[in-house]
Amino acid sequence: MIQKFIFGNPIETDAVVQKIECIKSDIPYWHQSEKIVEGTKKLVFTYAMADEDIVYGLGESMRGINKRGYLYRSLCADDPVHTEEKTSLYGAHNALFIVGKETHGIFLDDPGEVVFDIGYTSRNVLTITCGTDLTAYFFTRGTILELIREFRTMIGRSYIPPRFGLGFGQSRWSYANEQEVEAVARGYRDNQIPIDSIYLDIDYMERYKDFTISDERFPDFPAFVQKMKKEGIHLVPIIDAGVKIEAGYPVYEEGVKKGYFCKNEDGSDFVGGVWPGRVHFPDMLDPEVRKWFGGQYQFLLEQGIDGFWNDMNEPALFYSEEHLKEVFDQIEAYKDKNLDINEFFAFTGMVSGIANNHEDYKRFYHQMNGKRVRHDAVHNLYGFNMTRAAGEAFEELEPDRRILMFSRSSYIGMHRYGGIWTGDNQSWWSHILLSMKQMVGLNMCGFLYAGSDLGGFGANATEDLVLRFTEYGLFTPLMRNHSAAGTRHQEAYSFENTENFKNIISLRYFFLPYLYSEYMRAALNGEMYFYPMAFLYPNDLHAGQVEDQLFVGQGMMIAPVYTQNATGRYVYLPECMKMYRFRSPSDFDVELFESGHHYVDCALNEVLVFVRPGYILPCSDAAMTGTVKNADSMDLSRIVLLSNAAESAHYLLYTDDGYEKDYENASHFIHIDMDEEGDIQVTRGKNAGEYAKKECGLEVTRCI
Ligand code: MIG
C-alpha cells in the first residue's frame, strides 16, 4: 500500500510515475513538527527507532548499507574526496526503507536540501528535515523485497543500457587525440583483453565546448568512430552541464537568443565558472530547453556515437561571477592588514569556499511551467533533467535502438533515463568496500546501471589495487576503469602482470549471460540486482550485519577481497554453498562449504563465486575458449552452467540483440530446466509452454 501526502505547494518533480490519490492525515508512525533553521521554516519528520531496526536506502551516499548512526544531506555536491565524514555526494535519493518493528518505506519528494539524521544526534531517533513544500510517500507491504518492488513500481522502470554497456570500458581524463585512443585500443588488442568501449573525456572537445569536436585532435571524427567500431570499440564522449560563453559558438548564441539559460534575479543570464571558464547553465527544468539541449546530442549521434556520460551536472560551480567579485574586494581589504589567527583562517576559508558555494544556489533562477523558481529550491533536479533531456531526445532520434547514458548527478526519477557512476572516488582500498555498499542503496532507489571508477579516480593506483578493484567491478553493471589527469596510468595493460588482468576481465564476459539476465530481471520486475545478505536471509541475524559480501541476483554470492596484501578473507555463509575459485574462465577449482564462518584463500589473481543450493547460473562457453573480443560480437548461443543443484533446477535466461527495445517480447526469454540426472531441457517463451519445444537456438552443453 502506498499513501501520498502533500505539504504546502510542491513543485512537480516527475520522480513518481504512478497516479496516487493524496490523503489528508498524518504520515503513519511519523511525528511531524516545524522548526526554524537559519531563519527559514522547515518541516521535521521524526520516527522513534527500535534498537533492532535497520534503516536502508539513500541511494548514493557514504557509510554503510545500514544507514544508522550518521547524518546525510541531500544536496548534490561536486566533492572529489569521499571520506567517512562527508554527508553529501553527487546524488539525492530521498528514500528510506526501515526494516524492524514497523517495516515500511518513506520517500520525501523535495528537490531542495533534505537532512537525514539517522541516530546521529540521538541514537534511536530518526529525523528528516525538509522544506515546507513537498510530497511525501509512505509505503508498507510485507517483506523488504515486496516493499522495494512497490516503491519501484511507483517510480517507473529503470534504464536499460545496450548490451555493450555491460562490457568492459576503459577511460581516463583524457585520451586527448586519435593517437592516444588508438594506443589504448592497441594495448587491449595486443594483450587479447576483451573491451567494448573507450571513453572520451573533456579534451576531445574544442576548448571544452559541448557538442564540438577538436579538429586538430580528431581531424575526421566520423571516420575515426567507424574505424574504432570496426575494431569492436564504442567511443563514449563526455558532455558537461555548462555551456561556454564564446562569441560564434552556436549552442551559446542560440541559447542566449532564445532565453534558454538560467537567469539572475534581474533577468540577465547567470554566469558561472567551470572548465571552459565562464559558462551559462541551460535551464534543464524547462521542457522547451530540455528539448533543445537533448536535440544537441544528435550532433554526435550522427557521427556514429551511441553512448554518453553527463558530467558536472550537480551543477558543479567553481565560482559565480558575482561571488568571485565579492571575494576579490574582500582580499583587497585584507591586503595591508596584520592578519591574526582568526582573520587568517577567515581569509583562507573564504578562498577555499569559493567552489560549490551553497550561497551561489540562491543567486540564479529557473523557469518551471511559467513560474520562476530559485535554484536552491530545486537544486537536486538539475542532473536528473540534463539526463532526461538526453533520454527524451534519444527516444525520438533513436526509437529502436538503446543508447548508453549515465550521469554523475541524479535524483530519483532519473533512473528511468540513465545510470550513474559514483563520481570521483580515489585509489584507496576502502573505496572498493564503499562502492559495494553504495550499490545496494542505489538499486533500491531504481539505479541499476551503476558502477564506480575501477582502480580509483584520484590518487596513484598500484597493480594489486587495480586488480582487486577489477575483481569486484566485474560484477557491477557499469564496469569502467577511469582515472584522473596526472595520476599514474592504470589501464589493464599498464602493470607488470597483464595476464592477470586479461583473465579477470575475461571473466566478465564469461558471466555475461547471467549478469545480463539478472539485470533484465531486476529492471523489468522492479527488483534488486545486488542483494545484501539480509534481504535473502531475513531470519539470520548475522547475515543482517554482513556488508562486505553481496548477492548478484539470488543465486550468486560474491566476496571480494578489499584489503591490501590479503591472500584470503573471512566469509559468512548462511547455508551450505558451492564455491568456485576462478583464475580465468577455464582455470578454476571448486569447493563445498558448510554454513558458518570460514577463512577462504583468495590469491591476488583469484575471484570467489559462491553458488546457492538449488541454483544454476548460465555462463558463456565462448569465454571459456578465450575467443571473446567484446559483448557485441559474442557468441551467446553456447551456454555452460555453474550449478549447485542436487535436485531439479530452473533458470530464466534473457537474450536479445543487445539494442532492441521490445523487452517484453516472449521470444527473448529462455527457460533452462535441469533435472535430477543433470539432463537439460531448453524452451523459449516467457511463460513456460508458450513456445514449448520450439527450436531455441541455444546449446547448453556442459554443466560444471
Ligand atoms: O573533476 O572531465 O567526475 O570523471 O574525468 C573534473 C574531467 C571534471 C569530473 C568527473 C571525472 C572527469 C573529470 N570531471
The pick from 201, 310, 482 for probing ligand 1's pocket by mutation, whose C-beta has the most ligand atoms within 8 angstroms, reads 201
Check residue 688 and give its pLDDT: 62
- The DSSP line for 133-193 is SEEEEEE--SSHHHHHHHHHHHH-PPP---GGGGSEEE--TT--SHHHHHHHHHHHHHTT-
Which residues neighbour 66 within 8 Å (Cβ) at sequence distance 6 or greater? Answer: 54, 55, 56, 545, 547
* pLDDT surpasses 90 at 321: no
535, 444 Cβ separation under 8 angstroms: no
What mean pLDDT, rounded, does the chain reach?
Answer: 96
pLDDT digits (tens, 9 = 90+) for 515-542: 999 999 999 999 999 999 999 999 999 9
Distance 596 CA to ligand 1 centre (A): 43
Distance 671 CA to ligand 1 centre (A): 43
Distance 202 CA to ligand 1 centre (A): 8
Whole-model pTM over 0.85: yes
Average pLDDT of 321-339?
89
Q: Which numbered atom of ligand 1 lies nearest the CA of 484? A: 5
* pLDDT surpasses 90 at 696: no
Pocket residues: Cβ below 6 A from ligand 1: 173, 201-202, 238, 311-312, 408, 423-424, 457, 482
Distance, in Å, from the CA atom of 528 to the CA atom of 551, rounded to the nearest integer, reads 10
pLDDT digits (tens, 9 = 90+) for 338-370: 889 888 899 999 998 988 888 999 999 999 988
Distance 311 CA to ligand 1 centre (A): 7
Calculate the CA 251 to chain-centre distance: 28
Check residue 693 and give its pLDDT: 57
Check residue 695 and give its pLDDT: 66
Average pLDDT of 111-117?
98
Check residue 704 and give its pLDDT: 81
The residue whose C-alpha atom lies closest to atom 12 belonging to ligand 1 is 173
Q: Which numbered atom of ligand 1 lies nearest the CA of 171? A: 5
The pick from 90, 174, 308, 312 for probing ligand 1's pocket by mutation, whose C-beta has the most ligand atoms within 8 angstroms, reads 312
- The Cα-based distances of 44 to 12, 40, 134 in angstroms read 21, 12, 12
Q: Which numbered atom of ligand 1 lies nearest the CA of 238? A: 2
Distance 78 CA to ligand 1 centre (A): 10
Check residue 690 and give its pLDDT: 61
379, 111 Cβ separation under 8 angstroms: yes
Distance 538 CA to ligand 1 centre (A): 40
595, 576 Cβ separation under 8 angstroms: yes
Distance, in Å, from the CA atom of 457 to the CA atom of 466, rounded to the nearest integer, reads 11
Check residue 508 and give its pLDDT: 98
Output the nine-digit C-alpha cell for 603: 590469491
Output the nine-digit C-alpha cell for 306: 551511441
15, 413 Cβ separation under 8 angstroms: yes
167, 636 Cβ separation under 8 angstroms: no
* pLDDT surpasses 70 at 245: yes
530, 548 Cβ separation under 8 angstroms: no
Distance 655 CA to ligand 1 centre (A): 34
